[in-house]
Structure 1
Amino acid sequence: MSILALSAANVRSMWRRFVGLTALLTVTVGVCVTALAVSASADRAAHDRVQEGAANRTVTVERAFDRPGAQPLTDAALRTLKGLPHVTAVEPRAQVSFGYKDATVMGVLLYATTVRSSVTPPIVGQTRPDLFPLRTGEVVLPATSQGSDLSTLLGRKITVDITRLVSSGQGTGAQDGVTVVGLFDPGWQVDGADAAYADNDTVVEWSAARAGVTAAQFTANVGYDKVSVIVDEARNVDATLQLVQSAGFVGSTLQQELSALPGVLAMIRTTGTLLLAVLGLVALVGAIVVTGALTRQRIREIGILKAVGFRSAAVLAMFVGEMAVVGVLGAAAGALVGAAGAAAAVTVLRGLPEAAAYVPDALPLPDTTTFGGLLLLTVLITVAGALLPALRAARLAPSDAIKEW
């Protein structure tokens, strides 16, 4: 019989003695797998939704006519910005006021705003499944605004009031027809408390009318209010911002306000690593203590083995093999417990509104390398913890063992 087979037979015949260590390893690995799964999920969500999210990859360019040398945000400026390295999209923004009033709506003053595909409002009502991009003459209104319920307008073509400039400093009222194809949560005020969203052509047409120019003249000479420049990766935002500013534009980024974000994400990863180290230390100490206790209980067995010709190396290999078998069993059981713990954690997190959006649909287990490495490390730690007590047992002389008998 090989040493490994003998070790496995010993574990099977004396399983009660190994229950404590196996349970310790199972709990340790289970907690570790659950913690790694949740922390890895949080790290991926933070990376994908925050660090690499559109907001953190955006350079916001403002219109600043009063600043010497500042570039207007015209069609030419958009072409310049699109040509910068690492820029994947350029989203111009403009806002222009319009009013609406009927028998059910006492009167609201809203601001037609161009829609950014990278940041769309939360829709609470719509006339078709794929609402964006909006078609010409379509608007998305807040569900309520200024004390008026606008939900009754969904699906209707309405006539709104706009302003047309007729002479310097003097405007006159005009009307235009638009179709309400969607409603969004009025709590969404990223573009202002009274923003509504319309297609780009409609917003440009109304803005041009207010400025007293044609739509072509507006985009060629007057320009947009803001431009969102979307960069391919978060790490390239700073370099893109420098290029934007050196080209004469006024730009800023969300990264400048969230300068501590990379450190926070690193802290999350470091905390997970420290937890893994603490759990590993617990497993190591447990293996040392349990193996030492088992060795003291098996003095007679050691003496008999040495008396019938077992060499010290064989005794050492047998004890280490037993711990390896226990380590494998504990790691396997811990993997199952950890998977169940991760599933339970995901279920709980999905029930929390503030966390549900960041929880993946699939079971968030660690990647294969981390998962396999954790199980292998568990076995190695268990074996390492058994080495010193097993070495002492292997060196025990048969006469000393007989005295203990």
Structure 2
Amino acid sequence: MNVFSLATANVRALRRRLFGLVALVSVAAAVCLAALGIADRAQGATDSGVKESSANRSITVDRPDGRPDTPQLTDRTVERLARLPHVESVQHRAQASFGLLTEAGDTVLLYATTYRPAMPPPVTKSVRKDLFPLRPGEIVAPARSQGVDLSALVGREIETETTRFVRPGEGTGVSGQVRLVGVYDPTWQLDNVDAAYAADSTVIRWAAQRAGVQEENYLRTVGYDQLTVVARTAADVPGVMRSVQRLGYPAVTLQQQLDELPAVLELIRMVGQVLLGVLGVLAFVGAVTVTGALSRQRAQEIGILKAVGFRTRAVLTMLVTEMALVGAVAALLGTVLAAVLGGGAAAVLRRSADLAPYVKGWVLLPSAGTLLLLLVLTVLVVAVGSLAPARKAARKPPTDAMKDW
């Protein structure tokens, strides 16, 4: 029987004595993996479909609400920002709410949004290969919104209802039709959870109706909701952002937006990182304690092995292999527990409207590479923790080992 087979047999025989270490490491690993899995999935949702090159060069400029001395985001503002040094382009965003009326009787409230090439939505189904730029009367909506599956309606004409301003606090409904030419992954959150992309002329017409402004005057008076300033290179972004902010406009880089998570999810990420260190300490201390205790209890077994010809190195290898197997079992059990714990935590987080868009899926674990690395590290820490007491036990002469027993 080789050393590995002997170690495997010993682990089976000693499973009751090893239960405490397995439980300790597996529970710690489960909490750690669940926290890291939720945080990784949340960050992945914010990053979904964004091209890194655009993200690195894009600066979002919002309406200067509360700053009466700063002009609104009108066409003149677009021209002014486009003249700033190191600016490649300025792309606008306007939005107008509208109702989408399906044949099944469902009404979905969406926000007609102008398309920005720097931030294309991740289209999952469409009527043609090149959707953008959209034609008047066409929209691209989220595949699922407010519990309604819109992907089955791609290619069809759908009734809409918008609002025309009558007087302050009062409006009248205006019926119309649009053609749904595509749907995108609903985890895309940069423009709005219910954004529906439409041609500029369509969005401006609906927005002007709602504001009670002539369509041709809308961009000179009310202006856009948001602008995206694209720098020539990623290195130009800080300087361009400072230039925009000096003009009085609130500006943030798109990469900063992608890195932001709600406070609860940031806390979960921090807990996962702290628990990663705690897991290492628990696994190491547990391995030292259990290996030392078992080595003393198995003094006769070790003495017999050495008496029949097992070398010190072979006994040491056997003892360390036993603990490595225990670490592997604990790590695998921890992964299963993490999937259950992460799924339960995600179900709780999804009850919050603010957190639900960040928590997708049922099995929330870190990426395969991260998961494999954590499992390997757990086994290594347990094995290293067992090394010192195992070496001490393996070096004992057969007569001393038998005497200790």
TM-score of the aligned structures, taking structure 2 as reference length: 0.62
Aligned match of 2:249 in 248, 251, 273? 251
Name the amino acid aligned to 1:306: K
Who is 1:59 aligned against? 61
Q: Is the 8 A contact 2:30 2:335 kept in 1?
A: yes
Name the amino acid aligned to 1:368: A
Distance 1:323 1:245, change over 3 A: closer
Secondary structure of 1:366's match? Answer: coil
Deviations 1:129-156 (A, max 9, x none): 999xxxxxx86349xx9887x7xx65x5
Which segment is superposed worse, 13-22 or 376-385?
A: 13-22
Alignment of 1:20-39 (within 5 A): 20-39=20-39
Distance 1:92 1:243, change over 3 A: farther
Q: Is the 8 A contact 1:93 1:224 kept in 2?
A: no
Who is 1:337 aligned against? 337
Who is 1:140 aligned against? 162
Name the amino acid aligned to 2:295: T
Which segment is superposed worse, 281-290 or 12-21?
A: 12-21
Who is 2:204 aligned against? 200
Who is 1:404 aligned against? 404
Secondary structure of 2:87's match? Answer: coil
Who is 1:229 aligned against? 227
- Is 2:333 the counterpart of 1:311? no
Who is 2:40 aligned against? 40
Write the distance in 2 (CA, Å) between the matches of 1:219 and 1:352: 36
Write the distance in 2 (CA, Å) between the matches of 1:202 and 1:18: 69
Write the distance in 2 (CA, Å) between the matches of 1:63 and 1:402: 84
Write the distance in 2 (CA, Å) between the matches of 1:78 and 1:337: 53
Gaps of 5+ in 1: 95-112, 132-137, 158-178, 182-187, 189-197
Who is 1:363 aligned against? 363
Q: Is the 8 A contact 1:114 1:200 kept in 2?
A: no
Q: Is the 8 A contact 1:141 1:180 kept in 2?
A: no
Cα deviation, residue 392, structure 1: 0.8
Name the amino acid aligned to 2:345: A
Write the distance in 1 (CA, Å) between the matches of 2:236 and 2:261: 14
Distance 1:129 1:20, change over 3 A: closer
Name the amino acid aligned to 2:251: T
Write the distance in 1 (CA, Å) between the matches of 2:112 and 2:349: 35
Alignment of 1:181-200 (within 5 A): 199-200=203-204
Deviations 1:230-273 (A, max 9, x none): 25699976543344467xx5422267xx9996997987655432
Aligned match of 2:91 in 82, 89, 92? 89
Identity of aligned residues (%): 34
Q: Is the 8 A contact 2:89 2:229 kept in 1?
A: yes
Q: Is the 8 A contact 2:25 2:330 kept in 1?
A: yes
Secondary structure of 2:250's match? Answer: strand
Q: Is the 8 A contact 1:339 1:365 kept in 2?
A: yes
Q: Is the 8 A contact 1:43 1:269 kept in 2?
A: no
Cα deviation, residue 73, structure 1: 6.1
Secondary structure of 1:251's match? Answer: coil
Distance 1:231 1:147, change over 3 A: closer
Pair member with larger Rg: 1
Distance 1:403 1:361, change over 3 A: closer
Alignment of 1:316-331 (within 5 A): 316-331=316-331
Gaps of 5+ in 2: 97-110, 117-140, 154-159, 179-191, 193-201
Number of paired residues?
324
Q: Is the 8 A contact 1:320 1:386 kept in 2?
A: yes
Alignment of 1:147-162 (within 5 A): none
Write the distance in 2 (CA, Å) between the matches of 1:369 and 1:57: 32
Distance 1:237 1:130, change over 3 A: farther
Deviations 1:46-95 (A, max 9, x none): 6679xx9x9x952136599x97xx8896646535646873656213689x
Which segment is superposed worse, 200-209 or 329-338?
A: 200-209
Name the amino acid aligned to 1:321: T
Which segment is superposed worse, 305-314 or 386-395?
A: 305-314
TM-score of the aligned structures, taking structure 1 as reference length: 0.62
Write the distance in 1 (CA, Å) between the matches of 2:312 and 2:65: 83
